[in-house]
A and B are shown apart, each in its own frame.
Chain A
Amino acid sequence: MNILDIFVAGRAVTSLMLLVFCFMLILIMELNLREKIALKIRRMAGVDAIDEAIGIAVEKGKPVMFLPGQGKLGTGRSGGALAAISTFSYVVKTCAEKGAKLLAPTMLPTVYSIMQDIVKQAYIAAGKREEYDPSIVTFVSPKMQAYMSKVGTMMEEERIGSCIMFGSWAGATLWMAERSFEAGAFSIGGTDSPSTIPFFLAVCDRCIMGEEIYAVGAYLSEDKAMIGSIGGQDIGKIIIILLLLIGSILVNLGVDVLPWFKM
């Protein structure tokens, strides 16, 4: 019996690569956690700007708005939603400590309940239980156009001081970013959706793009296991670049490498 027969047909090589990569990630994560290696995470200007954004809002006496994107949990865009939740927990903690008013309208029902719990825990942890307001996080509508309309109005009515947009974004990106600019807010845009990165780059004051948003949780929490996994991801990227170079050379030599990945 061929060892590759244990895998689903057509996915053997890619599955094997995925498993090797996962084990490597876990290994580096554990090594960093047990201080066998000492990995550090580089500065991320966009993430450092979160404190700046909250500070600006506090100085102006205006609210901070956090938008968790359009990526739903349980779909292919869960990564963006998870990254948005990670960032939100830091934003809400900082807002609670600095006494900044926070608004977090969402169109994601599953993310809504998680965000509610994060807000409650953050205010309790900051010793400001009495300041906890369940209407900080509001569910607007799962439909994009209704969400766009409501959030745009909220930005104008509440005269927000800063706007932090994080997660997977789609059609509502430009609308949100432009409306926050029109409201005079300092804006930070972070997304893992390649098609919406140009909009954030064009309109926002600071931009966090691509897989950087998945590293935000590790960067802000300084958790060793999480930093270890980011180190593992970087090694994975180096291996992929080497494989791309080898693949390019083989293809130019006339070797058809595509069937190898369809085994």
Chain B
Amino acid sequence: MMSFYKSTLPKWILFICGIVVLIASIFVVPEPLKNVSNEIQHFTSILTSFAICLGAVSLGINNVKRTVKKQSGWCYSIVLLISLIATIGIGISLGRKSANFMWIYNYLYMPLQAAIYSILFFQVGTAVYRTFIVKNPTATVLLIFACLTILGGAPAITCTIPGLTALNDWILAVPQMSGSRGIMIGLGVGIIGISVRTILGREKAYQMGEE
């Protein structure tokens, strides 16, 4: 019976939902079937909302445990718990559009987000340095093309070296584009494959509770 709820039933739900959405997006179907397909797609948002609640509870429990056990960085867990409770509390009691909630968003959340993202600048630098170390012929080709693309994007260089802009445009439009289109076609075919396997219940790892 357990196997029916954990394996057979989810497989059938997945199969029916997948087929209904597929048929409604390909064929001209009666309005009720179209509505069912739309509802299935809307249901994804509802499931995600429930999953976020589950995730928030897990986050809270993990940080409470960390604080109680006084594990390393437990003081940060207190900051997190206070922030979590305060944001949820203000959001629920005063509303998402209230001045207090917007203050948290504009003056705490946004600057913190920007600060974290700005560190990426330095990491791009170190990654580029390691990439540009010539280890083999492929790395040499990468280095040459990367240098041409970087120089081709710098106005001070392009105005002194004639033809660099045209060369840069050609690199982006021909070798780069053909490579990325090849990857995109492969991805499209791969996504169809994984979708067919999932709808038919052949994608083993997705079936929870089964080996």
| A contact residues vs B (CB 8 Å cutoff) | 5-8, 11, 15, 18-19, 21-22, 25-26, 29, 72-75, 79, 82-83, 85-90, 109-110, 112-114, 117-118, 121, 125, 135, 138-143, 145-146, 148-149, 153, 157, 171, 174-175, 177-179, 181, 192, 194, 197, 199, 201-203, 209-211, 213-215, 217, 221, 223, 225-226, 229-230, 232-233, 236-237, 240
Contacts and interface: CB of A to CB of B under 8 A. Distances in A.
A173 to B, nearest CB: 10
Nearest to B26: A15
Contact of B116 (A11, A145, A223): A145
A174 B47 CA distance: 30
Given A8-B25, A214-B191, A226 B116 contact: no
Contact of B26 (A19, A139, A146, A210): A19
Interface string B185-211: 111011111111110101111101111
B78 to A, nearest CB: 15
A232 B193 contact: yes
B192 A25 contact: yes
Contacts of B123: 174-175, 178-179
A138 B26 contact: no
A252 B142 CA distance: 32
Contact of A194 (B48, B180, B190, B204): B180
Contacts of A11: 26
Interface stretch (B90-98, B125-133, B158-166): B125-133
Contacts of A88: 205
Interface centre among A177, A215, A233, by most B CB within 10 Å? A233
Nearest to B59: A139
Interface centre among B59, B123, B131, B195, by most A CB within 10 Å? B123
Given A22-B192, A112-B51, A145 B112 contact: yes
A186 to B, nearest CB: 15
Interface of B: 25-28, 44-45, 47-48, 51-52, 54-56, 58-59, 62, 65, 72-73, 112-113, 116-117, 119-120, 123-124, 126-128, 130-131, 180, 183-187, 189-198, 200, 202-206, 208-211
Contact of A112 (B58, B131, B189): B58
B59 A149 contact: no
Given A74-B44, A139-B58, A217-B203, A82 B198 contact: yes
A6 B28 contact: yes
